[in-house]
Amino acid sequence: MHKELPNIITVLAEHFPGPVAEFLLTWQNVILSLIVISILILISFAVYSSIRKNGLIPSAIQNVVEIFVEGVDGFVCSILGHHGRKFVPFIGTLFIYILFMNLLGLIPYFKSPTASWSTTMALALCVFVYLQYTALKELGFKGYTYHLLGKPKGVIAFSVVIPLLMFVLHVVSEFVRPLSLSLRLRSNIWGDEVLFGVLAGFGLQGVPLLIFNSFLALIAALVQAVVFCLLTTIYFALVLVHEE
């Protein structure tokens, strides 16, 4: 059975047995997620301070953050069109947050919170709730119901079986999306964690493989963040009003 690599939380739990250890082990993914949030807050403050200090002359960290923001903005708007700009803060935050959580596991004595299904499911549920809210806001209750019925027209609109069948399929797919989003991200990151644990068991002989796998995990961390946000953007595109 796979034994995960020790991280800062498990090490602290060993040194503080009892209720403290139980608390740390129970909430380790939340604690690690909060560490990522703290890092992002510090980066945000650094950029804000740089803008106030340098004015129109951007610093290195400001340039890096602007590249991220412009990339996400172009990515989202290329799919959603003129609707996309108002969803950039949400999808962009998801992308950066997931990316940093994925990368956290590459640091010794840390673990990727996204290797836990509880973390990825929470993210997927945020997408689900915001998606349903957006659909009802943009289409209205009748419009969203019409969308779930498959937008029947002509003879099909007067048939009961096909619209009801489409309604059931659409409702099921809406509830399956959080499951598929969360499991896809969790399984890929967890797979990297398992592989690191296996290679670490080889001792010094496994060091070259660990280095090589680190590069692959780095690419996977970026790809999985992009895939999660790409699917999220596509889900929004499916419920937004499009010009004929």
Q: Is the pLDDT of residue 97 over 90?
A: yes
Predicted TM-score (pTM) of this structure: 0.89
The pLDDT score that the predictor gives to residue 156 is 61
pLDDT in tens, 47-92: 888 877 876 677 788 888 888 888 888 889 888 887 788 899 999 9
pLDDT of 34 > 90? The answer is: yes
Cβ–Cβ < 8 Å for 199, 156: no
Q: Is residue 181 classed exposed, middle or buried when 0-12, 13-18 and 19+ CB atoms within 10 A define those classes?
A: buried
Q: Mean pLDDT, to the nearest integer, of 8-23? A: 88
Where does the pLDDT of residue 211 fall: very low under 50, low under 70, confident under 90, or very high at 90 and above? confident
**Residues near 98 by Cβ (< 8 Å), separated by ≥ 6?**
114, 123, 185, 224, 225, 228, 229
Whole-Å CA distances, 187 to 60, 215, 223 = 35, 18, 13
The whole-number pLDDT of residue 201 equals 78
Of the chain, the percentage scoring pLDDT greater than 90 comes to 39
- Region 194-212: mean pLDDT is 81
pLDDT digits (tens, 9 = 90+) for 174-183: 999 999 999 9
Which pLDDT score is estimated for 128? Answer: 95
Does the structure show a pLDDT above 60 at 185? yes
pLDDT band of 1, cuts 50, 70, 90: very low
Taking only the tens place, the pLDDT of each residue in 98-141 is 999 999 988 988 999 999 999 999 999 999 999 999 999 988 88
Mean pLDDT in residue range 26-44: 93
pLDDT value at 15 more than 80: yes
Determine whether 171 is exposed, middle or buried from the number of CB atoms within 10 Å of its CB (0-12, 13-18, 19+).
Answer: exposed
How does pLDDT run across 213-243, given as a tens digit for each residue? Answer: 889 999 999 999 999 999 999 999 988 865 4
